[in-house]
Structure 1
Amino acid sequence: MLIKSRDVCVGVEIVLRQILKILLATSCVWLWVAISAAAEVSSQEVQNKTAFAKVLGNSRTIREIPLLSEIERPTSSAQHLVQSPTPTNSLQNQGEVVQVTGVKANPTPQGVEIILQTFGGQQLQLLNRTAGNSFIIDVPNAQLRLPSGEAFTFRSEKPITGLREITVTNFDAKTIRVTVTGEAGVPIVELYDSANEGLIFSVASTAQRAQQGQQPQRQQPPKQQPGLQTQPTQPSASGNKPIELVVTGEQDGYRVPNASTATKTDTPVRDIPASIQIVPRQVLQDQKAVRLQDAVQNVSGVTQAGNYGGTGAARYIIRGFEQDGNFRNGFRDANFFTLSEIANLERVEILKGPASVLFGEAEPGGIINLVTKQPLSEPYYAADFTAGSYSFYRPTFDISGPLNADKTLLYRLNVAYQNSGSFRDFVDTERIFIAPSLTWKIDTNTTLNFDFEYLNNNTQFDRGIVAIGNRPAPIPISRFLGVPGENDSKTTAYRAGYRLEHQFSKNWQLRNALSITINKINDFRAEPGDLIDDRFLDRNFTNAKLETDNYSLQTEVIGKFATGSIIHQPLLGIELNRSEGPVTFSRGILSPIDIFSPVNNSVIPTNPLTTFVNIQNRTDRLGIYLQDQITLLDNLKLLVGGRFDFTEQKSDNFLASTSTSQSDQAFSPRVGLVYQPIPAISLYASYSSSFVPNIGTSVNGSTFDPAQGTQYEVGVKADLSNRLSATLAAYQITKTNVLTTDPNNPDFSILTGEQRSRGVELDIAGEILTGWKIIASYAYTDAQITKDNEYPVGNLLGSVAKNTVSLWTTYEIQRGSLQGLGFGLGLYYVGDRQGDLDNSFVLPSYFRTDAALYYKRNNWKFALNIKNLFDQKYYESSQDRNIIYPGAPLTVLGTISWEF
């Protein structure tokens, strides 16, 4: 008997659905009692109070819209309107493409209202038809664009009863397509042309209109701030829920109103009692960033600690404290050795201050969370090729879209290849990066995402240059002090995971996610030792093999309920993490090198290298956390949370045939308050804490308590306009239980150290005027040692400048024959920095200028980026006197991009 392939597919799908049901049940069984108890609180009154309209992606404030009765319109019939000829002097007849600058969506008692905004209410020609259960409107000679000109797409799923989906997208280079799909039949769509707003669509399902038995009437919508949830003044007469808009295309803008890192929920930045800065994809594209370092330079209080010559993984300092690795989509991404590629990044979110309340052990300065691109429901294709100085070549492409007709299976694929030299002698890099992802919309309430990354990076390991006296050595910044052709560094990283989300009801959601990172490093490098008579550098040759396998599993329940007039949004989660891997170091002796007249012909030792480190490390972490976002009043919000962490670390030393273990536990609280005297201003204050385990034992064999960090912060957030926002913050962080040398036994440590960081930060991001964007920052950071047995009290922490300033701004001509022509300017100032904790040398201040010129035409973009325009000599960072990293001189990059 023959079995049809369709039957096989159906069978496979049934099996997969059963597996997913088991997975859902297993992951939430430990939380079900809590969910059930809290869910009983949610009455119909609570549901009415917590019905929200959430607008994502369109950062402009939704203005108050006049009533339909106040709008002068030639027709009220969709059929009449779409057949009405356009005026002879219309823009369409003149061949000019009308730009739809925004989309509004407002709930009404009759259904939902979609508004296409145009400059000055320009008229739009319409063509409509039906296909199946869909009402399709094509708007010829028009393009959907934000004020900067970039295309975007949005989709609203199940906005009201009887409607499956509403989408607005660019069908081709000169046509917008609006598709309204009903569940049981073709929906009713009526169109109105507004002289002030543009084109208005009034949409209702056939069943709704039949029940209401009336013509559509437009009601005054509640005023909203961009990206905020707003409570309707009255529940809808028909019981309809307000719609949710989801941006599915590339967002264009420097201001991102919502963030997830600070609360693990999609929360307006203005409602978060902490400083969180976001570097969106558009900034990375405009600056032609090729490293994560290029992204974080736009944020106040973030500097580099080391970057291995700019070709490998980098370490970052936030508010004075060096971080041990980044986070990716909310998961710990192994450690600082793990290399990150930016080709599939949607944005970079930087949370300032202690973050242990949600993320476990971390230094108190903050964390960097990399948010990756997700599959899109509409076809999207983009590719670019960059070539430039020092034999730099980098092609990338990004494709996405649905895999089936009903768009329940979506994909995305990002690929990048890089082959480049460097301003550093004998240093070159080859990189291959592949990142596929898949989204399966199992049903209306359940979504499953898979993602995978492969990264292979081969480069020359580079320790930079050294210091003489109290300054970097006066040698060319191009001078390589390793062994040419032998300082090989090979990094291979694999990342994989899934994210399962299930909506039990409109108020309760379950998330279960797994992240796996496997990072392998094999380095052959000449390690610098001490300078001999300020000329000859002692060196050794080291082979380092490191592997880190990092596994994380998170299960979270997010809810929403009310106690009287107070609205709660609790988050309850549990996280399991294991990080393990071998570490092996072998060493041989190299002859010294003359740093002023090097002869790079050192012979690698022919005898086997001596292994001096051979260990296997394992760290197990368990974290249980609870958070509540409480709306006390419309303008008063409270954030409280706490996390218990339990860690166990084990190290097997194969050379010494010994095994050591250590267990720690910590509680990390956070509390913050936001007061909004007017909608555009948020005043906040917060207290938060962090912890990091201290590894080792004292002279009496006892283990150490974890290092603790506490922060007090106050700040102001302001929406300077509906497209421009600013954050001003002042803080003090104190880190205690810092390991210092035992004065009675120098081979051991004691817990007497303390470090403190105080500062003021200002960040501005958004659009000043149409086409004029900006992202800028200023930071004053005073980070110093306040208690220590080894370093003098008052010494400044290494690589932390007291004053830093950054400014990146672009302007694009919006109209006329030069439309699409744009300019960019970047200014970066970094003050003097101490190079080490001894404060034995100084990295001098620098002022760097970047520039850009680009031109957009239809789906093409041509860009020229110039970095370090005036060829300033500067130093990015240092790790000690023998490891100083110079900054790149004048660099030119040219890029051609195509997007559709």
Structure 2
Amino acid sequence: MKSLYSHFILLIAALLIPVLSFAQNAGMIKGSVSTPDNKPAEFISISLQASHRGTMTNAKGEYQLDNVSSGSHQLTISGVGYQTISKSFNIVAGQILELNFILNEDKQQLQTVEITGRKERTYKTKSTFIGNKTQTDILDLPQSVSYVSKELMADQGIVRTGDVVKNFSGVSQFTFYDDLTIRGFRVNGQSNTQLFNGMRTSTGFWKQPLTNYLERLEVLKGPASALYGNASPGGVVNRVTKKPLDETRKSIGISLGSFDTFRALADFTGPATKDSTLLYRLNLGYEDANSFRDLQFDKNVVVAPSLSFLPDRKTRINFDLVYNSSRSRLDRGQSVIGDDLNSTPISLALSTPNDRENENTYMVSFSLSRQLTDKLSFSAAYLKTGYDEDLYEHRSANAYASDANGKQISNMVAMQIFTRKRKRYIDNFSGFFNYKENTGPIEHKLVLGYDFGSEKTPVGASQLTASGYRNAANTGFIATYNPANKQNYLLDKNGNPVPNVPSFDLTNIRASQQLQDDSKAFFSVASIAPAYYYLNAGYAQDQLRWNRFQVLVGLRYEYYTDFSNYAARNEVKTNSHAWLPRVGVVYSIINNLNIYGSYVTGYNPQNAATLANPNAGGPFKPLESNMQEIGAKGDFLNGRLGLTTAVYRIKQNNVLYPANVTGQPDLLRQVGGVISKGIEFDVTGRITPYWSVIASYAYNRSYISESPVAKEVGVQNPNAPRNLANIWTRYNISAGAFRGVGFGAGTNYVGKRNLSINLTQSIPEYMLVNAAAYYTVGKVQLQLNANNVTGKKYWVGGYDYIRLFPGAPRNYLATLTYTFN
């Protein structure tokens, strides 16, 4: 605590007594850093070892360190992909010492798994691991990748995936949950198709976790099955955690804002040993916030430590843990009367004060990278995910209440109660070799690997459900109301069937949100049978380079085994397998400008419960997809600004949708085919050293191409807008009386969306305006974010007019951040 108090004292001092001149016993160091071809090297770390002080080179490769005490010092110059330089020097009071350096490339530092952290502090990321199982320049990847760095997340004051994705082309929210639409296809965190540091996992889904532990959030567009197994044809989301750095950086931030929001975040990193063979990073997060939605709140605790052990130049070992504890209520959305979107307030939620949604999630991973020879390296990683849910909720039954004749009462929402407890465990292992070799003028980068993945729902998962209508004897309930058998139901004074759980009256909201005596409801036990699946997969890939040409060829074989009613007498086992090819071509027109083309395939088996469930109408064939994509990628303004544009066509076969047959809620039907095609444009980086920008535009036509129901052919996929656009920019004043002041502003546009292929219901387009102001003095930054400045009423997604998900009205967030060494 004493140390914490001292840091806050320093923070106040930094605000009130900024240093405006050199101390009399100090000097200055300045100079430049360049590459062997005489190009400036930007974002290079300059560290003064004994004092733990440092800076970074600017766009011209220049640096400056003020207030360096007289005497002997050692300067360390380092950057990702470059050999580190150490320089000893002496300086006297008042001296301005100029030291210039040339950095040579260090190919040994290129990682096969992401272990040491990214030092850049900009919106732009040069390389990624998501598309190639090894560190690859985004320019050289024959597939579109969108990403958001931690710097952009901090500038926009966002800590939820749903807020982050507005910066991606072709990506939008489907619901409030960890639930997205990518290129017209739904991707949700409940399925085991998301990635954590390139490993398969899932999230808690119902509540989006904080993102303060992330270095970046990235999306590999299109089917990714050739690398990661079953996945959505739209793309795969990868959460990349912050990794340790070999220089000391520390920060503490506190945010206060609208809806009684309080948030505290901390990030500490640096060497844990004097020789920097052990590096550490610790991210902490705490949040206590209410919502513009009735009775909704979030209480989150995040603990995310990371360790990197580098015993020698050939070996790297990493440990990552993310633990998230969430206490909240489950928000099932807004309901409206009939088809009138303005008939109820956007604050309306159907919860009651005794509802709860408690989730605990952990993701723990170990990874190893070993350079066996100059040409051969080996990488392996293991990830375990654990999830624990304790749910009690009042929610809609996805329908309006029925009157005596079976007609809907448009102001009365049929309700049900769920109480559920369950756990889920996911295990993944990935091991692969990288081999580099030349055959004549052709360079090869070969990858040969094996993946294992499994997910288990153990014994003990169960759910109690109260729904439907009370029987005539009032001793139980009947799931649905049939007016032809009216005598079987308990009727009220108006002759209407009495619901098992009181309906929610949209004309008397506050009365419906009060505590209810649930002891009078009739519950049925719905046991969640233990389930288990595992997959084994092998893959091979070769990336060939000849002059300006690159060719990527890959093939994956996957064998999938799935059990329903696992370890029970009625256990059902299903198997499926697939060969998944991948081909890509890249051609460098000029330096830093590439064009590419690719063909990739996707595969997603229906799970055992769907394949073998007689109530679903199966068995059904696995989902199969393929994508053709062409595009261009370029780095401009000396690499500060990156641009990607892509044109694509995705086809998915054997698509399933609910049959919507009364009394058969599990019944599914195979629509046939869905086609998604469109164009995307992304630009990310800095126009000048003090002017950052990210912008995107996407047009997507995602529709049913084959269906036994003729009128469905051509219908746009649910929650798939045809047009998406976004721009955000920040400018910092670097000199003069307003030095340290910065401004940010942006807009994002989402087009009109259908809510279901079976309904005519839709939600309108919207455009939001957001703004921010920053003031940096010394080690302290004050930040104010204003979101939805115009107070636009809008909906981020939904299933129908009983389950709409409105966006937040005008809101504000003030953040104070203190950085120190």
**Fold in common (TM above 0.5):** yes
8 Å contact 1:343–1:396 — kept in the other structure? yes
Hey, what's the Cα distance between the residues in 2 that align with 1:429 and 1:624? 42
Aligned to 1:851: 771
Corresponding residue for 1:666?
578
> Aligned with 2:502: secondary structure?
strand
The total of aligned residue pairs comes to 724
* Residue number among 615, 623, 646 corresponding to 1:729 in the alignment: 646
CA contact (8 A) 1:139 1:176 kept: no
CA distance in 1, matches of 2:306, 2:67: 24
Shift of 1:880: 3.3
Q: State the distance in 1 between where 2:62 and 2:151 align.
A: 10
Residues 503-542 of structure 1 mapped to structure 2, 5 A cutoff: 503-529=371-397, 530-531=399-400, 532-542=408-418
Between the aligned partners of 2:528 and 2:159, the Cα distance in structure 1 is: 35
**Separation (CA, whole Å) in 2 of partners of 1:175 and 1:608:** 80
Shift of 1:610: 1.5
Whole-angstrom distance in 2 between the partners of 1:187 and 1:720: 31
Q: Residues 593 and 101 from structure 1, CA distance in 2 versus in 1: closer, same or farther, beyond 3 angstroms?
A: farther
Contact 1:493 1:517 in 2 (8 A): yes
- Listed as ranges, the matches of 1:156-195 within 5 Å are 178-179=75-76
- SS at structure 2 position matched to 1:590: coil
- Residue in structure 1 matched with residue 596 of structure 2 by the alignment: 684
Q: Name the SS for the 2:124 alignment partner.
A: coil
Could you list the per-position Cα deviations for residues 278-331 of structure 1 after superposition, in whole angstroms to 9, with x for gaps in the alignment?
A: 211110010011211121110010011122xxxxx4111110111143211011
- The structure-2 alpha-carbon separation of the partners of 1:542 and 1:242, relative to structure 1 and needing over 3 Å to count, comes to closer
Is the 8 Å Cα contact of residues 498 and 515 (structure 1) preserved in structure 2?
A: yes
Question: 2 CA distance for matches of 1:471 and 1:728?
Answer: 39
Gaps of 5+ in 2: 1-20, 79-84, 91-96, 401-407, 467-499
Contact 1:472 1:884 in 2 (8 A): no
3-state SS in 1 of match to 2:167: coil
Summarize the alignment of residues 613-652 of structure 1 with structure 2, pairs less than 5 Å apart: 613-633=527-547, 635-652=548-565
Q: Give a deviation string over 1:236-258, Cα, whole Å, max 9, x none.
A: xxxxx778599856421112111
* Aligned residue in 2 for 1:555: 431
8 A Cα contact 1:151 1:250, kept in partner:
no
Q: 1:898 aligns with which of 806, 818, 821?
A: 818
State the alpha-carbon separation in 2 of the partners of residues 549 and 525 from structure 1.
24
The answer as to 2:367 corresponding to 1:499 is yes
How far is 1:275 from its partner? Answer: 0.7
Structure 1 residues 830-839 or 562-571, which shifts more? 830-839
2:656 corresponds to 1:739:
yes
**Which region of structure 1 is more displaced relative to structure 2, 859-868 or 837-846?**
837-846
Q: Distance in 2 between matches of 1:322 and 1:842?
A: 17
The AA in structure 2 aligned to 1:724 is L
Q: 1:328 to 1:249 in 2, by over 3 A?
A: closer
Corresponding residue of 1:104:
34
Contact in 1 for aligned 2:22/2:66 (Cα 8 Å): no
Q: 1:169 to 1:498 in 2, by over 3 A?
A: farther
CA contact (8 A) 1:715 1:730 kept: yes
Whichever residue aligns with residue 199 of structure 1, its letter is: L
Offset from partner CA, 1:561-586 (integer Å, 9 cap, x none): 11111001111111111101144221
1:585 aligns with 2:456: no
Residue-by-residue CA offset, 1:608-654 (whole Å, 9 max, x unaligned) = 73212421111101111111111022x21111111111111101189
Give the whole-Å Cα distance in 2 for the aligned partners of 1:99 and 1:684: 44
Aligned counterparts, 1:414-813, within 5 A: 414-470=283-339, 472=341, 474-482=343-351, 484-529=352-397, 530-531=399-400, 532-582=408-458, 583-588=461-466, 589-598=500-509, 599=511, 600-601=513-514, 602-606=516-520, 609-633=523-547, 635-652=548-565, 658-695=570-607, 696-697=611-612, 703-722=619-638, 723-739=640-656, 751=670, 753-789=672-708, 792-813=712-733
How far is the alpha carbon of 1:506 from its aligned partner?
2.7
Give the whole-Å Cα distance in 2 for the aligned partners of 1:555 and 1:249: 23
Q: Distance in 2 between matches of 1:842 and 1:381?
A: 47
Q: How far apart are residue 770 of structure 1 and its match?
A: 2.4
Report the CA distance between 1:471 and its aligned residue: 5.4
Map Cα deviations across residues 7-32 of structure 1 (whole Å, 9 max, x no partner).
xxxxxxxxxxxxxxxxxxxxxxxxxx
Deviation at 1:189, TM superposition (A): 7.4
Deviation at 1:427, TM superposition (A): 1.0
Distance 2:62 2:186 in 1: 37
Q: Distance in 1 between matches of 2:410 and 2:235?
A: 38
Q: CA deviation at 1:361?
A: 0.3
Amino acid at match of 2:205: F
Tell me, in whole angstroms, the C-alpha distance in 2 between the residues paired with 1:412 and 1:812: 28
Q: Does structure 2 retain, via aligned residues, the 8 Å contact 1:107–1:243? A: no
The answer to whether 1:884 aligns with 2:804 is yes
| 2:696 pairs with 1:818 | no
Check 1:856–1:571 CA distance in 2 against 1; reply closer, same or farther (3 A cut). same
Other structure's SS at 1:836 match:
coil
Alpha-carbon distance change, 436 to 466 in structure 1, aligned in 2, over 3 angstroms: same
| 3-state SS of paired residue (1:496) | strand
Mapped to 1, the partners of 2:814 and 2:153 lie a distance apart of 15
Q: CA deviation at 1:710?
A: 0.6
The residue aligned with 1:318 is 182
Which residues of structure 1 form unaligned runs of 5+? 1-90, 119-123, 129-135, 153-167, 192-196, 204-220, 222-228, 230-240, 308-312
Measured at CA, do residues 480 and 671 of structure 1 come closer, stay the same or move farther in structure 2, by a change above 3 Å? same
Could you tell me how far 1:821 is from its partner in structure 2? 0.6
Query: Cα distance, 1:175 vs. partner?
Result: 12
> In structure 2, do the counterparts of structure 1 residues 804 and 490 end up closer, same or farther at CA, with 3 Å as the change threshold?
same
* Cα contact 2:27–2:68 (8 A) shared by 1: no
CA contact (8 A) 1:874 1:886 kept: yes
Distance of aligned partners of 1:825 and 1:623 in 2 relative to their CA distance in 1, 3 Å threshold: same
* 1:277 Cα deviation from its structure 2 partner: 1.3
Aligned equivalent of 1:163: none
- The answer as to 2:250 corresponding to 1:386 is no
1:406-435 per-position Cα deviation (integer Å, ceiling 9, x unaligned): 121221111100000100111111111111
Q: Aligned with 2:100: secondary structure?
A: strand
Q: Secondary structure at the match of 1:341?
A: coil
CA distance change for structure 1 residues 324 and 742 in 2, over 3 Å: closer, same or farther?
A: closer
Cα distance in 2, alignment partners of residues 612 and 591 from structure 1: 21
Code of the residue aligned with 2:197 in structure 1: it is N
Equivalent in the alignment of 1:200 = 100
Match of 1:410 among 249, 267, 279: 279
CA distance in 2, matches of 1:117, 1:603: 62
User: What corresponds to 2:480 in structure 1?
Assistant: none
Assess, with a 3 A threshold, how the Cα gap between structure 1 residues 202 and 346 changes in structure 2: closer, same or farther. closer
2:8 counterpart residue number: none
CA distance in 2, matches of 1:868, 1:391: 17
Deviation at 1:105, TM superposition (A): 4.4
The answer as to whether partners of 1:190 and 1:201 remain within 8 angstroms in 2 is: no
Superposed CA deviations along residues 505-537 of structure 1, whole A, max 9, x for unmatched, are: 232111111100001112111121212422111
Q: Which whole-Å deviations, capped at 9, do the CAs of 1:770-820 have from their partners, x for residues lacking one? A: 211110110101111111235711111111111111111100011122111
Aligned partners of 2:29 and 2:98 also within 8 Å = no
What SS does the aligned partner of 1:405 have? coil
The CA distance in 1 between the partners of 2:282 and 2:196, in whole Å, is: 18
Deviations 1:424-458 (A, max 9, x none): 11111111111111122233311211111211001
Deviation of 1:870 after TM superposition, in Å, equals 1.1
- For residues 211-237 of structure 1, give each alpha carbon's deviation from its aligned partner in whole angstroms, at most 9, with x where no partner exists: xxxxxxxxxx9xxxxxxx8xxxxxxxx
Alignment RMSD: 3.7
